[in-house]
Amino acid sequence: MTKSYEDLRSARWFAPDDLRSMGHRSRAMQMGLSGDDWEGKPIIAIINTWSDLSPCHHHLRDRAEFVKKGVYQAGGMPVEMPVHSFSEQFLKPTSMLYRNMGAIEVEETLRSHPIDGVVLMGGCDKSTPALVMGAASMGLPFIYLPAGAMLRGNYAGQKLGSGTDVWKYWDERRAGTIGKAEWDGVQGGIARSYGTCMTMGTASTMMSIADGWGLTLPGASSIPAPDAGHKRMSAACGRRIVEMVWEDLTPDRIMTPASTRNAVTVAMATGCSTNAIIHLIAMARRAGVPLELDDLDAIGRTTPVLANLRPSGSEYLMEDFFYAGGLPALMTELGDKLDLSVMTVTGKTLGENIAGAQTFNDDVIRPLSNPVYHEGSLAVLKGNLAPDGAVIKPAAMDARFQTHAGPAIVADSYAQLKEIINDEDYPMTPDSVMVLRNAGPQGGPGMPEWGMIPMPKALLKQGHRDMVRLSDARMSGTSYGACILHVAPEAFVGGPLALIETGDIIELDIPNRSLNVRLSEEELAARRAAWTPPAPRFERGYGWMFSRHIEQADKGCDFDFLRTEFGAPVPEPEIN
């Protein structure tokens, strides 16, 4: 379908010869614009998540100018519109608390303004899902512009990966094997440019998922943030979104069941963050595509990890991935595991987009015959401890914990957890299972990234660097280790995790996808009868609304009233 000017949303604001439209035109002229700027042209929103407290997005203020240049080149009118920055580093208690608020902001910003199409600018962990969720719910043509990863870190001749090496060197600092000088050196060398984490953490995972879904220009997710190609890609996004508006290429034609399976497959093959599961489910459901934990696990069982990137891999980072061919090369290696017939934002199929892509380093991007890990990055576990599911990343843990049974050490809060792990006399063995609860969507609040439970100091000093850890929290995608996460239902709402006690035997069986506590149903029922619900986390404000409407991890942690099937579509605003 090809649109005419009269078909555009923005024409409702600017085209009529009436009092209200005269007001719109005069106020546009107040800003120095004229009819030449909007007449006969689509108005393109540039949704920008830049802020002075978002190091991952610090360059997006500049990149917006390149997007504007592209929009102008293609005959559109660009308007830059700021939204929440989702600063992963500085936003407390967790940026996840605000992902859905950001999605609402995006949806309503687009609905309430004279916008015909949108370029979404983000990258750091929660920004990608928030932007895509809001834009998908609105339904306007959109293209996602990924912020890109920062340069490789460096200290004393060693290549550093953001997040991953923080946890590694912090363990060594607590074990006493390095001192403050080395620790300060890592601090100064691990983040050398603007851009997102350059490991395959949540940021790179989510940008790759958007690329694999067909929501970006081909390979856009792999371009390092400081690379000049990133500026050219930004301008190309501006040109392409104007064409998408005229073509009426809306997200429902791109975010289909088939392309969603592609996105999951790409996630698994990259060695993705555990956070991918929550965000994939939420984004898919906003697009009207039902996606369940079991669907993700099934795809994971048949999709090997091909990206040899930390933390699942041992050496390489996103910059290396880009030089090796980037995501188009990885998707080419996946072959018939992808549906290449799906439509993308280019107006071409995925197969057309990646035709001719090559791998230039087959140790960074492995072939199917030589994977990093034989199955996908993530596994979904279920059992009497997690009836609605839990998640683990087998590719990034010590293989000896694939099957394990050990006594629980239970902490009801992060403060209590810190006391335990820093107490060198606390009774434990390497077989113990560290448990943190009341850290889920409601309990955290907001499901913070506390699930990368630090190794106890006593075990570190004995030379141990991994153990089974269990929580209803999330963890950074840059993390690694035998960490079981997203236990659902969470303890705060009375899930089975609320009932276990220190000394209970926890049983983990990754090959059989099971997670259980060795207790009878009768004992669990008795403990449930004695359980007292904790006091609410919030009594007013956004947190109060969050607590009443947030769904559990297995459902994507969206607000229940934002589900596609919750009610009738929201109508266009009246202009009177």
Tens digits of residue pLDDT in 355-395: 999 999 999 999 999 999 998 889 999 999 999 999 999 99
Neighbouring C-beta atoms of residue 520, cutoff 10 Å: 9
Task: Give the relative orientation of helices 326-334 and 257-270 as an angle to the nearest 10 degrees.
Answer: 110
Tens digits of residue pLDDT in 228-277: 999 999 999 999 999 999 999 999 999 999 999 999 999 999 999 999 99
Residue 342, both tokens: 């799906």
Tens digits of residue pLDDT in 163-221: 999 999 999 999 999 999 999 999 999 999 999 999 999 999 999 999 999 999 999 99
Report the alpha-carbon angle 270-401-376, nearest 5: 20
pLDDT at 314: 83
Mean pLDDT across the chain: 97
Range 391-430 burial, b when 16+ CB lie within 10 A, else e:
bbbbbbbeeebeebebbbbbbbebeebeebbeeeeeebeb
Q: Tokens 């940008």 map to which residue?
A: 207
Using DSSP's 3-state secondary structure scheme, residue 117 falls into strand
Tens digits of residue pLDDT in 437-481: 999 999 999 999 999 999 999 999 999 999 999 999 999 999 999
- pLDDT(30) > 70: yes
Domains along the chain? Answer: 5-24+38-151+193-354 (3.40.50.2300), 154-188 (no CATH), 379-530 (3.50.30.80)
pTM: 0.97
362 or 3: which leads in pLDDT: 362
SS (H, E, C) 153-173: EEECCEEECCCHHHHHHHHHH
- pLDDT(1) > 90: no
